[in-house]
């Protein structure tokens, strides 16, 4: 057992090589990093480097031990955490320091935990799922030894605005009911088989995993809609998103067309999106860019010119697309594709 370096995600979402610290014992099993820690101060530093900056406390720090098994696949960070009692806090001051916003999906594997965010709290038992947002304060509390799976991914990877997902953060999604009954065992299997997730096929699998997660979130929102006085508005937003996704490749897609197709006024459409903290055009643009980013990282489309990828998703001006891609992801489309081809498991998004 020796010391090696590990990967973490920096403020821009890029993977960075992090050297091991004192009291850390790091193994590499294939492409999986396994870090064992027996010192609480070291654990505090480790989780902030591995995820986003966090404040960590414990009433039994002198007897603390913890372990993280992790994989970085493109812009998705998957980790299995085993540790003794402690609390994790994402504070407003830490958020204001300016890190890229991520969602975290937590699957409780053993023991129990409590997640608090947006005025709600969820008690999680084995098999239960919950979602939370690194761009807003949250607290995780573990009263005794536990094991959980955390999948961290950028906001842009799901077809729901952060404000919409904010309605179900820190909400227990029971692992023995509904779609979660199917998805929870799948995620648990991922945790046990990280070593098998590799290469471009591994990245495809993780993208499909996020799509499954998004489906569960949609289902949870639908269930909540049935109990909410705002149910009609939520259902309408879902229809609007569906129409946009179905016609995203049309360069002439416009608010007027979307409003007409969903039987509302253009003013009403803009009002719905304003409530989500985004404009209609910005939402369409972000969805197109995400499709382009996925295509540029897909080895099966490596021979397709960048301009053709852009055109496929509604960008008619290649120069404008290139500037927009660079301003969004911090890298040109051609450089992104080259990096994805050279090192498919460590793509900066």
For the residues 309-337, what does the mean pLDDT come to? Answer: 93
Say yes or no: 205 and 281 in one domain. Answer: no
Report the pLDDT value the prediction gives residue 349, as an integer from 0 to 100.
41
Instruction: State the pLDDT confidence band at 73, using cuts at 50, 70 and 90.
Output: confident
Mean pLDDT lowest among 89-103, 109-123, 226-240: 226-240
The residue ranking higher by pLDDT, 225 or 40, is 40
Say yes or no: 220 and 288 in one domain. Answer: no
Report the pLDDT value the prediction gives residue 344, as an integer from 0 to 100.
58
The residue ranking higher by pLDDT, 225 or 208, is 208
Query: Domain of 27?
Result: 6-225
Q: What are phi and psi of 186, to 5 degrees?
A: -65, -45
Say yes or no: 89 and 152 in one domain. Answer: yes
For residue 124, list its beta bridge partners: 113
Sign (positive or negative) of CA dihedral 276, 277, 278, 283: negative
What residues contact 158, with CB distance under 8 A and at least 6 apart?
A: 103, 165, 210, 213, 214, 217
Report the pLDDT value the prediction gives residue 27, as an integer from 0 to 100.
57
- Per DSSP, 246 falls in state H
Instruction: State the pLDDT confidence band at 185, using cuts at 50, 70 and 90.
Output: very high
Report the pLDDT value the prediction gives residue 10, as an integer from 0 to 100.
39
**Domain-located, residue 317:** yes
Say yes or no: 17 and 142 in one domain. Answer: yes
**Domain-located, residue 325:** yes
**Domain-located, residue 348:** no
**Domain-located, residue 349:** no
pLDDT > 70: what percent of the chain?
87
The residue ranking higher by pLDDT, 194 or 344, is 194
Q: Is the pLDDT of residue 1 over 50?
A: no
Say yes or no: 188 and 279 in one domain. Answer: no
- Per DSSP, 90 falls in state E
Say yes or no: 199 and 316 in one domain. Answer: no
pTM above 0.75, yes or no: no
Q: Is the pLDDT of residue 231 over 80?
A: no
Q: Is the pLDDT of residue 42 over 70?
A: yes
Domain boundary among 225, 247, 263: 225
Domain boundary among 225, 241, 266: 225
Q: What value, to the nearest 5°, has the Cα angle with vertex 263 and ends 257 and 264?
A: 85
**Domain-located, residue 347:** no
Q: Is the pLDDT of residue 3 over 70?
A: no
Q: How does DSSP assign 207-236, residue by residue?
A: HHHHHHHHHHHHHHHHHHHTT-TTHHHHHH
Report the pLDDT value the prediction gives residue 346, as an integer from 0 to 100.
53
Evaluate whether 95 touches 136 at the Cβ level (below 8 Å).
Answer: yes
Q: Is the pLDDT of residue 169 over 70?
A: yes
Say yes or no: 248 and 191 in one domain. Answer: no
For the residues 137-151, what does the mean pLDDT come to? Answer: 96
Q: Is the pLDDT of residue 167 over 50?
A: yes
Report the pLDDT value the prediction gives residue 103, as an integer from 0 to 100.
96
CATH of the domain at 84: 2.60.120.10
Q: Is the pLDDT of residue 272 over 90?
A: no
Query: Based on the structure, what is the number of domains in the chain?
Result: 2
Q: What average pLDDT does the structure give for the chain?
A: 86
Say yes or no: 199 and 260 in one domain. Answer: no
Say yes or no: 115 and 248 in one domain. Answer: no
**Domain-located, residue 1:** no
Report the pLDDT value the prediction gives residue 339, as an integer from 0 to 100.
87
**Domain-located, residue 219:** yes
CA dist 270 → 77, 105, 166, 263 (Å): 34, 30, 20, 13
CATH of the domain at 304: 1.10.10.60
Say yes or no: 125 and 100 in one domain. Answer: yes
Report the pLDDT value the prediction gives residue 219, as an integer from 0 to 100.
87
Domain boundary among 225, 242, 274: 225
Say yes or no: 147 and 242 in one domain. Answer: no
Say yes or no: 182 and 241 in one domain. Answer: no
Instruction: State the pLDDT confidence band at 121, using cuts at 50, 70 and 90.
Output: very high
**Domain-located, residue 218:** yes
């Amino acid at each position: 057992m020796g010391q090696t370096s590990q990967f973490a995600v920096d403020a821009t979402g890029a993977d960075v090589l992090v050297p091991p610290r004192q009291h850390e014992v790091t193994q590499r099993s294939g492409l999986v990093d396994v870090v064992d820690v027996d010192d609480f101060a070291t654990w505090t530093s480790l989780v902030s480097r591995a995820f986003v900056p966090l404040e960590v406390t414990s009433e039994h720090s002198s007897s603390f031990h913890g372990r993280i098994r992790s994989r970085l696949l493109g812009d998705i960070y998957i980790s299995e955490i085993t540790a003794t009692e402690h609390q994790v806090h994402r504070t407003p001051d830490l958020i204001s320091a300016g890190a890229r916003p991520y969602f975290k999906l937590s699957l409780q594997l053993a023991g129990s935990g409590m997640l608090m965010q947006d005025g709600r709290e969820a008690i999680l038992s084995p098999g239960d799922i919950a979602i939370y947002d690194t761009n807003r304060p949250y607290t995780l509390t573990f009263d005794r030894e536990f094991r959980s799976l955390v999948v961290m991914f950028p906001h842009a990877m799901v077809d729901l605005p952060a404000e919409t997902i904010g309605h179900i953060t820190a909400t227990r999604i029971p692992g023995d009911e509904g779609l979660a009954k199917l998805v929870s065992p799948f995620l648990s299997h991922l945790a046990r088989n990280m070593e098998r997730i590799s290469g471009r096929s591994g990245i495809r699998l993780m993208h499909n995993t996020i799509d499954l997660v998004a489906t569960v979130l949609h289902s949870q929102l639908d269930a909540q809609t049935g109990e909410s006085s705002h149910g009609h508005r939520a259902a309408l937003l879902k229809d609007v998103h569906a129409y946009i996704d179905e016609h995203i490749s049309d360069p002439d897609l416009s608010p007027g067309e979307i409003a007409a197709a969903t039987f509302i006024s253009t003013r009403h459409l803009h009002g719905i999106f304003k409530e989500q903290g985004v404009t209609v055009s910005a939402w369409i643009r972000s969805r197109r860019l995400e499709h382009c980013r996925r295509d540029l990282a897909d080895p099966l489309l490596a021979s397709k010119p960048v301009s053709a990828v852009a055109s496929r998703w509604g960008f008619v001006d290649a120069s404008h697309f290139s500037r927009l891609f660079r301003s969004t992801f911090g890298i040109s489309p051609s450089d992104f594709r080259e990096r994805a081809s050279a090192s498919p498991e460590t793509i900066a998004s």
